[in-house]
Chains A and B, each alone.
Chain A
């Protein structure tokens, strides 16, 4: 049973990495905590479902279109809402939370409730890893999670736009003084974050159904991972995902499944007491006390 727990704990941790990467990317670059993130995640999944099942497009094309349109939706949200309130943290939280709430309720109003709303697995088979049987979709989740985290690292360290992302993340005034259109870069970061949410949803949700209510738990998980890891830190996201991911898996295995939702919340409380800036947080201890 331990081997099983370790393997499925690993997959669960990568799922959390996937879920949190987009939220963390947006916050790390633009400073916007996108509380509509859970709704954007569901939007990506429902768009993919619609293109595949209602429009009848090939699955690969449906995935591509869903990711692109979700990314555009993120850019539009920045352009028409966040741009006007950027830097006013409370307004950003209220506005994005409101947009998320409205989107999720709209999906329910449109009738996206029920078991028929599910995405197909990429390959319907399973393999043995030692004594543990694992389905190919979970293998894909691990591979895509590693690829997406690796791509993010490569993008921010080895591309011109990525370097600009890091620039405005570190000092927006300096970036402006060097000719960088920081609003455009921030819009791109929200857009990229939305695309990451859509990819995560399309890879993860074939394990179950598209349940609109999951938008809330996705947001809580993303928040927990980012707060525990240190907002804006990719290394922190990975470490916190593994801590919370294994915590959840061990809870399901050795306690009871209804305690699972408590794990991220306890992790948030614990880190706020011990190290408020998170494991890899960049704030100095002194600043935390002020």
Chain B
């Protein structure tokens, strides 16, 4: 018997006025899987993330997480259940130092549930987590205000905040965008380590080469609809995918 999916999306649709951003999207994700969600610009990837994480309410359809219907739940409730996300456009608390940005998720109700309220030394934990994602402790980067950090560090901070929530499912929205090849190469091992720890991950990416190296399965969206699903080789062979990306008849 196949395991019950961790996340199940069924018949999900979202209209913004006259624009059909997501149309009848269905997909499943099993525990421990790394799913890549790709598609051309405007294909509805970020809307799908916003629907799953509660930032946008669906027009139709159902989302279940561990067999609980979470359709239309408020974002903070979804986080408490174990789904964390990063933002495509990084969203740190700019006026706070990087390590203080970490304190807020480390004191979150989700972590309270997991630890029984025994938070321990939050500052030390914050610094440890930041070091794990590449903040060099000796350089004291973690003490700088987020507003003073370059894009590479902001992306790492975004990832660290999601990790701090100790989620079961992480949704990483274009984590690699705006990063150099070397920076991406240094983040990939962090994601692989998260997988080894049993985290389930959805990655939305335009950097397909890097994504295909680590993803188990790929779902391709175009104009809000799922046009292909399978391994990276399978989806890249799909005529619909070629047409969506290249704009020509296959």
Contacts and interface: CB of A to CB of B under 8 A. Distances in A.
B75 interface: yes
A176 B76 contact: yes
Given A163-B100, A173-B55, A179 B93 contact: no
Contacts of A167: 93, 104
Interface residues of B, number: 26
A172 to B, nearest CB: 10
Contact of B107 (A163, A166, A175, A182): A163
A83 to B, nearest CB: 12
A50 to B, nearest CB: 38
Nearest to A160: B107
Contacts, number: 61
B93 A174 contact: yes
Contacts of A170: 93-96
Interface in A162-211: 163-164, 166-167, 170-171, 173-182
B108 A171 contact: no
B79 A179 contact: yes
Size class of the contact patch on chain A: 10 to 19
B6 to A, nearest CB: 19
B104 A177 contact: no
Nearest to B107: A160
Interface in A137-179: 160, 163-164, 166-167, 170-171, 173-179
Interface stretch (B20-28, B80-88, B129-137): B80-88
Contacts of A160: 107
B206 to A, nearest CB: 21
B36 interface: no
Contacts of A182: 76
Contacts of A171: 91-94
Given A170-B94, A171-B91, A173-B55, A178 B161 contact: yes
A179 B91 contact: no
Contact of A179 (B55, B95, B105): B105
Interface in B98-149: 100, 103-105, 107-110
Nearest to A157: B100
Dominant secondary structure at the A interface: helix
B71 interface: no
A179 B53 contact: no
Given A167-B104, A173-B55, A179 B80 contact: yes
A126 B134 CA distance: 62
A168 B161 CA distance: 15
Contacts of B95: 166, 170
B74 interface: yes
B165 interface: yes
B145 to A, nearest CB: 11
A178 B108 contact: yes
A180 B53 contact: no
Given A179-B76, A181-B76, A174 B92 contact: yes
18 contacts: A160-B107, A163-B100, A163-B104, A174-B87, A174-B91, A174-B92, A174-B93, A175-B104, A176-B74, A177-B55, A177-B87, A178-B108, A179-B76, A179-B80, A179-B165, A180-B76, A180-B104, A180-B108
Given A170-B96, A171-B94, A177-B87, 20 more contacts: A163-B104, A166-B93, A166-B95, A166-B96, A167-B104, A171-B91, A173-B87, A174-B93, A176-B74, A176-B76, A177-B53, A177-B85, A177-B91, A178-B104, A178-B108, A179-B76, A179-B108, A180-B76, A181-B76, A182-B76
Interface of B: 53, 55, 74-76, 79-80, 84-85, 87, 91-96, 100, 103-105, 107-110, 161, 165
